[in-house]
Amino acid sequence: MAGILIQVSCLILGIISTTVGLDNGLALTPPMGWLTWERFRCITDCKKYPDECISENLIKRTVDLMVSDGYLEAGYEYVGIDDCWLEKKRGPDGRMVPDRERFPSGMKALADYIHSRGLKFGIYEDYGNLTCAGYPGVLGSEQLDIDTFVEWDVDYIKLDGCYIEPEHMDSGYPAFGEMLNKTGRPILYSCSWPAYQEDAKMLPDYASIAKHCNLWRNWDDIEDSWASASKIMDWFGDNQDRLAQHAGPGHWNDPDMLLIGNFGLSEDQAKTQMAVWAVLAAPLLISADLATMKPEFKRILLNKDIIAVNQDKLGKQGLRVWKQRNISVWNRELSDGERALAFVSQREDGIPYAVSLTFKDMQLPEQTYEVQDLYNEEKSRTVSPGEEFNVRINPSGVKFYKFIPKNKVLGSVQAKQILNSNVFNNEINNKH
């Protein structure tokens, strides 16, 4: 019976689906925010774990910290509840019911609190008839659930893909997005569409995915370990030729959440994830307990220069351009001719490793650059065509630089000199 319902629902979704793509004007740069899943998973026992259970208290505490500790000011604007926020059964009217004990005020009241603090409200559901943790999914109740999300003033929906066959996603996800569009409310749409198809050894239609989703999970769930983060970086590098071309303003590949501030990454490894995610133009979605965030990890997450790379208006996903001896170079073209280059070590031999690379190795256009260290560990330096660029990287660490064309630097200096001269002359003239 369940199989028949799935087939009927998918047929209806296919009929509803049109060639009209997502058109909500959102995510012109990669979304930034905070999600519950990686750190808090499906912790629902608030008696045993009062500070960690998925609840309105956790969300309100996080919202307050995002404001007071500078995360909102830095650009992290979404606060998202992942799986396990629902009651196990829908209400008599067929509507979703938030867990009555953990969300006693209801989702509309929680959304009002989030909005009152200047942030936006994100929530999770699943395209199947159940979520991955076994709570009610949207299948068969798509329009009712979307109407409910609109009534709750939701700003971001993450739609997972458990309990549905991957081949049905090519019609279902676009249809759901089309229904979102018709509400008139701008709701960021995060799809898990390709992740399940990649896992099933299918070939996702990334052109269609980019047309219908603001962001999409491509591959495995990230786990709180360097091994997991490193594996995801490798996968994105190995598959970049079919992924990167589909990223850009309004639609982004998503390698999954930032682990920074949890248990599994050292400070060097956290810097590496932040740098590579910035080069990939990836969504920056923290999943950590902000109440226990250590200062060194907070500095990484709030690094304005690296956030600026991630949010660069050109919106071009960077590429892994060189890899040898477990050292890789990731190059992202930025607006105004600048480049961001991350030199990543996946070595485990215990000492910093030195490499010397040519412009060709780094795939840099041949001109003279001023090189600025985005982690402020080195003084700025200049590199010119014909020279090799020398860098020494800690094991499982990164060196992250911005390469600024020298003529742009000189032009900026000259412009400032002219401006200062004009100001000085105006002051003299005014005195006379």
User: Known catalytic residues?
Assistant: 160, 221
Buried b (16+ CB within 10 A) or exposed e, 227-244: ebbbbbbebbbeebeebb
> d(Cα 415, Cα 418) in Å, to the nearest integer?
5
Other Cβ atoms within 10 Å of 404 Cβ, number? 20
The pair of three-digit structure tokens given for residue 420, joined into one six-digit string: 């200062």
The pair of three-digit structure tokens given for residue 173, joined into one six-digit string: 């996800």
- Secondary structure E strands in 233-380: 252-254, 284-286, 319-324, 327-333, 339-345, 353-357, 369-373
Minimal CA–CA distance to 169: which of 141, 205, 221? 205
- Secondary structure E strands in 346-412: 353-357, 369-373, 381-383, 389-393, 398-405
How far, rounded to the nearest angstrom, does the alpha carbon of residue 391 sit from its chain's CA centroid? 28
| Residues forming a β-bridge with 371 | 381, 403
> d(Cα 20, Cα 252) in Å, to the nearest integer?
19
User: What sign has the CA pseudo-torsion 244, 261, 62, 162?
Assistant: positive
